Amino acid sequence: MNISITKYNACCNLGNNIDEIYKEALKGNSELFNLNNEIIKDKNIRIAEIKKELPAINEPDFNIRCNRLVLDVLIPLNNTIKELIDKYSSSRIGIAVATTNSGINEYENTNNILHSELGNPALFIKEYYGLNSFYISVSTACSSGIKAFSIAKNIIENDIVDAVIVVGVDPIANVPLFGFHSLEILTDTKTNPFSINRNGINLGEAAAAFIVEKEQPAGIKIMGIGETSDTYHATTPDPEGIETIRAINIALKESNLTPTDIDYINLHGTGTVSNDLMEARAINKVFGEIVPASSTKPMTGHCLGAAAGIEIALCCALLDNFEGKLYPHIYDGEYDTNLPKIKLVDKVEEYNKCNICMCNSFGFGGSNAILILGKSNE
């Protein structure tokens, strides 16, 4: 079955919409971060925050920053969603939301248990648009965004719905900040993935929204998805990348593609020793040093449950607007020679085509997810 992303939008530190984000990412802008020394005592942390004023929500149970971010990216898609309801009916449009934080920050002050529920943003979208079909929030740490697409694909293929609103969203929250601090991987300087001088991650916040439909002639094609689990460690990926490699191969097989068909890889690229080693081994094993790849997290920060969402939106924008440039890999240029070599995108390099992108996401607990997207031939 042909399943496509027909509309999409996003918001993060790089811009208020996907067009602004695309332009800044293509330039390699890694400067839109703030230093914060108020959340963790005696610790500076570098955070990618959204500064714009967000839409108001009057319903107390839904009035959390997470949902205001959701509303911000969905409002520009309102006309499209109304057309979907007219076309398919409110009982044939599903919702799949990827998040890890939801309203956990607000819950500390309000004690409203609904604010802490992972299902809150999915329920909010359902109520906001008056939908009465399948809705779900998924939380598999940093792989959540691709998992939401996997759910969307499955419920369309099984004729539960005809279209799905897919959202990836996470605001900055104290719990993950303290969690990553306890792992000693937060840094007050720029994240530096695949560098010998890497020193940790920068966190960010983001929201991305997508309309996913079946049998549409135009749009970005969801060509294949690969999902596996390491069962290796709670927070550390298998350094050999065995299940990551298997996830890539599953996605390639479902897409009916070979490694040389991929034009660009958006890396998970967190800038930690464990991720860099695993991901470099997996990419080198499947693709060698041929396929250009980059991590966009040095520009957006690691947005947790929204990480894959913002990166998929970036891949969609690249497929729609490609003019010879790919997103550059922003780091100090000192590649860690202890890692297998992969081809990182340079700012000045030009490319002949970008018709197929692969997006990598890896979550705590060994959750591996790979999404392959293709440009429409229409």
Burial of 315 (0-12, 13-18, 19+ CB in 10 A): buried
| Backbone phi, psi, residue 13, to 5° | -60, -25
Q: Are 267 and 344 in contact (CB under 8 A)?
A: no
Strands 203-204 and 343-344: unpaired
Instruction: Confirm whether 142 is a catalytic residue.
Output: yes
The SS3 assignment for 353 reads coil
Name which of 241, 264, 270, 294 is nearest 371 in CA terms: 264
Catalytic residue among 12, 66, 115, 268: 268
Buried b (16+ CB within 10 A) or exposed e, 4-28: bbbbbbbbbbbbbebeebbebbbeb
- Candidates 97, 145, 105; CA nearest to 125 is 97
**Of the residues 11, 302, 303, 329, which is catalytic?**
302
Q: Pairing between strand 206-214 and 3-11?
A: antiparallel
Interatomic CA distance for residues 343 and 353, integer angstroms: 16
3-state secondary structure of 76: helix
Q: Are 3 and 254 in contact (CB under 8 A)?
A: no
Q: Is 354 a catalytic residue?
A: no
Do 28 and 80 contact (CB within 8 A), yes or no?
no
Q: Under a CB-based contact definition with an 8 Å cutoff, are residues 227 and 147 in contact?
A: yes
Cβ density class 143-159: b for 16+ within 10 Å, e for less:
bbbbbbbbbbbebbeee
- Token readout for 109 is 């002050």
Q: Is 268 a catalytic residue?
A: yes
The catalytically annotated residue of 11, 12, 66, 142 is: 142
By annotation, the residues acting in catalysis are 142, 268, 302
